[in-house]
Structure 1
Amino acid sequence: MRAFYALAALTAFATAAEAEATKYPLTLENCGVEVTFDKAPASTVSLGQAATEILYSLDLADKVAGTGVWFSDVLPRFAEVNAKVERLADNDPSFESIVAKRPDVVIAQYEWHVGPQGIVGTREQFRDLGINTYILPTDCVGKDNSKGSDGTRIEPFTTETLYETITELGQIFDDQDKAAALVADLRAREAAAKEKVAAMKIDDISAVFWFSSPELDLDPYVAGRKGAPGYIMSVLGVKNVVESDEEWPTVGWETIARANSTVIVAAEMTRRRFEADDIEKKKAFLASDPVASQMEAVKKNRVVTLTSDSMEPGIRVISGIEELANALASYGLAQ
């Protein structure tokens, strides 16, 4: 394994060394819209924690003038730089608050924030003020966002879209070396996690990913087959008991209980938009609800806690793969 990481490090170095400087003007097709950058943006506002943490991972914190749409605490290694960046809102900032920061570009994690029906603002509204927009390809490649805020995956998410996103951000900000190195590092971690799980020879394991619920006694938001959690499960050879192609469909607990998954993966977040955002309330519900409490995963204490951002198509999805693999190993499920 040590040799594997050494090879990965050399690969990252070689990849970064081959990167070229961006040639402007740079034109990209982004979520169905052609965007052109005449030069590297001097400032940006990022909407969505995954977008913000990718920018921080590329050492672009000094270019971030403001952030919005947070689900949990920033990764510990970014706490210091994040403290210096103004948080415009925990959830959805106003159009006016973003414009007041005078960013060169708004980078959005979700198309429903900055898209045809953007609840924060449309791309046209920003363009009319001379502000460029970029939506992470992770939210539109192979996905139909025309119906509902969460959209429907036409094709399953894969980390290749994440790596494409990082690469394009490296091009936009003219720092392709760091983008290439970050992609190489994430690829190495993902490969190592796959290798670890393959050695377990796990068979006939199923899971449900519970993000949140509008009310604890209402149908929960759970992960569909084709989003980031679906990818995590496919990498680890785990069956998703939810068969919907929606990103986060609502499914009744009676239906979930009948599927009786081997494990339940529950999202932990600091956001408190819904009562079930609180992980402790999730756990209390599972233990006391007459239906959910009868599930094998609850009875055998196989409730895995992952940060909500590990269930989103950002850099933390790699941590989600690693942490779920470790949990499966701790339950003695390996052959």
Structure 2
Amino acid sequence: MPTFVRSAALALAAALVLGGCGAEVAPQAGDAGSGGGHYPVTVENCGQKKTYDKAPQRVVTNDVGITEIMFSLGLEDHMAGYVMPDDKGDLTSVPWKGGYQKTKWLSKKGINKELVLDARADLVFAGWNYGFNEGEGFTPAELKKVGIDSYLLSESCRNGRGNARGIMTPLEALYTDLRNLGVIFDVEDRANTLIGTFQKQVAKAQANALKGADRPRVFLYDDGQDKPFTSGAYAGPHDIITKAGGDHVMKDLKDTWTTVGWETVVARDPEVIVINNYGDTSAAQKRKFLKSYPPLANVSAIKNDRIVVLDYVDLVESPRNPAAVASLAAALRNFGV
């Protein structure tokens, strides 16, 4: 493992332990959803007002970041289970391993209506392209027909331009969901404490990050060889890169996760490339491709071997985002671009 990758990994590990990414607000017995005078409550989710007469008791979540948002609030007792593939890293050493131990892993394949019906779900917490998909007939509207409510991941909100997603900055999306879930499950103090911890962690990382002309141009590489899949302004990597002291080269893309052309990447000449580590193609294989792909040969990040690896859950909306800011900030300082 190259030195800069080791540095990023070590910084992330330290942030998880010391920086508050894994800060858990200890739940008090019976405190989630037990306040009789609390309900009904109304929150705004992706532009829609939603009212709850009581706290959902059998939530099914889709994907690792969404699942860990619930765990970070101590809401595993309100969950029927979670759905995610087994390519999302080691789940036994994460800050919320207790949540994983207590909660049923319903499927390592895709989420669908039959699965949530079998789980007797009363709410599905997912997002557009984070489980919800018209092409597969799994949408909030379809679930409503069978009496199951939905909460949409704020990172995935559609912004009014077809299927383009994103209506707020990535960390604000995380804080919005934590606040909303705090209201829905009557754990507002817990949510506010967690948000405050995360904001302090991000502010500390920003204070120590590169600034001004020292900020390197950074490109997020998710996957793809003919065309790269990357992050626009509304997915997690934008805030992680920006607040870590980098200049996100795709900040003008008003979407979350999307495809661009290699010619655009070459023209913007990133000085650092961040690899999203997940899926059937390993980070090492992605790195090998980037280093050997002829059109990228003169890109600064490739010429100078400045490549950082972060895990999928660090980069999608999740309670690990603040630690990822600290980790990337340390890696960028180590490069000294």
- Once residues 32 and 114 of structure 1 are traced to their aligned partners in structure 2, the CA distance between those partners, rounded to angstroms, is 17
Alpha-carbon separation, structure 2, partners of 1:81 and 1:228: 23
CA distance in 2, matches of 1:156, 1:174: 24
Query: Are the equivalent residues in 2 in contact too, given 1:261–1:295 (CA < 8 A)?
Result: yes
User: Which residue of the partner structure matches residue 51 of structure 2?
Assistant: 36
> How far apart are the structure 2 equivalents of 1:192 and 1:240?
20
Match of 2:263 in 1: 254
The equivalent residue for 1:3 is: none
Deviation at 1:120, TM superposition (A): 5.6
* Structure 2 counterparts to residues 202-213 of structure 1, below 5 A: 203-213=214-224
Asked if structure 1 preserves the Cα contact closer than 8 Å seen for 2:169 and 2:233, the reply is no
SS at match of 1:88: strand
Task: Confirm or deny: 8 A CA contact 1:48 1:109 kept in the other structure.
Answer: no
Change (3 A) 1:226 1:27: closer
Output aligned runs, 1:289-304, within 5 Å.
Answer: 289-304=293-308
Q: Given the alignment, which residue of 263, 271, 282 partners 2:272?
A: 263
Q: Which residue of 2 aligns with 1:4?
A: none
Aligned mates of 1:246, 1:161 — CA distance in 2? 13
Asked if structure 2 preserves the Cα contact closer than 8 Å seen for 1:50 and 1:309, the reply is: yes
Deviation sequence 1:35-59 (CA, Å, 0-9, x none) = 2221112221011322100111111
> How many positions carry a matched residue from both structures?
304
Counterpart of 2:9 in structure 1 is none
Query: Is the 2:206–2:245 Cα contact (8 Å) retained in structure 1?
Result: no
The equivalent residue for 1:138 is 155
Give yes or no for the alignment of 1:166 onto 2:184.
no
Residue of structure 2 in register with 1:227 after alignment = 235
Moved more, 254-263 or 295-304: 254-263
- Alignment equivalent of 1:123, drawn from 125, 133, 140: 140
Q: Confirm whether residue 97 of structure 1 aligns to residue 128 of structure 2.
A: no
Q: Which residue of 1 aligns with 2:38?
A: 23
2:194 counterpart residue number: 182
Please give the alpha-carbon distance, in whole angstroms, between the structure 2 residues aligned to 1:330 and 1:163. 29
Which runs of at least 4 in structure 1 moved beyond 4 Å after TM superposition? none
| C-alpha distance in 2 between matches for 1:258 and 1:47 | 36
Alignment of 1:65-76 (within 5 A): 65-70=80-85, 72-73=88-89, 74=91, 76=94
Structure 1 residues 202 and 72, CA, compared in 2 at 3 Å: closer, same or farther? farther
Residue 146 of structure 1 deviates from its aligned partner by: 5.8
If asked which structure has higher relative contact order (CA below 8 Å, sep 6+), I would say 2
Find the counterpart in structure 2 of residue 108 from structure 1. Answer: 126
CA contact (8 A) 1:262 1:296 kept: yes
| Alpha-carbon distance between aligned partners in 1 of 2:258 and 2:173, rounded to the nearest angstrom | 22
Residues 125 and 254 of structure 1: CA distance in aligned 2, closer, same or farther (over 3 Å): closer
Q: Distance in 2 between matches of 1:119 and 1:145?
A: 21
Amino acid corresponding to residue 328 of structure 1 in structure 2? L
Helix, strand or coil at the partner of 2:199 = helix
DSSP-derived class of the 2:44 partner: strand
User: Would the alpha carbon gap of residues 130 and 118 (structure 1) be closer, same or farther in structure 2, given more than 3 Å must change?
Assistant: farther
Counterpart of 2:146 in structure 1: which amino acid?
L
Deviations 1:265-288 (A, max 9, x none): 11112x33xxxx421110111222
Change in 2 beyond 3 A, CA 1:48/1:209: same
Distance in 1 separating the partners of 2:161 and 2:104: 31
Q: What is the alpha-carbon distance in structure 2 between the residues aligned to residue 69 and residue 293 of structure 1?
A: 36
Q: Partner of 2:247 in structure 1?
A: 239
Cα distance in 2, alignment partners of residues 38 and 162 from structure 1: 24
Q: Distance in 2 between matches of 1:306 and 1:111?
A: 21
Structure 1, unpaired ranges of 5+: 1-7
Q: Which residue is 2:31 aligned to?
A: none
Decide whether aligned partners of structure 1 residues 169 and 226 sit closer, same or farther in structure 2, where only a CA change above 3 A counts: closer
CA 1:162/1:112 → structure 2, altered by over 3 Å: closer, same or farther? Answer: closer
- TM-score scaled to structure 1, two decimals? 0.80
Q: Percent identity?
A: 27
State whether structure 2 residue 311 is matched by structure 1 residue 307.
Answer: yes
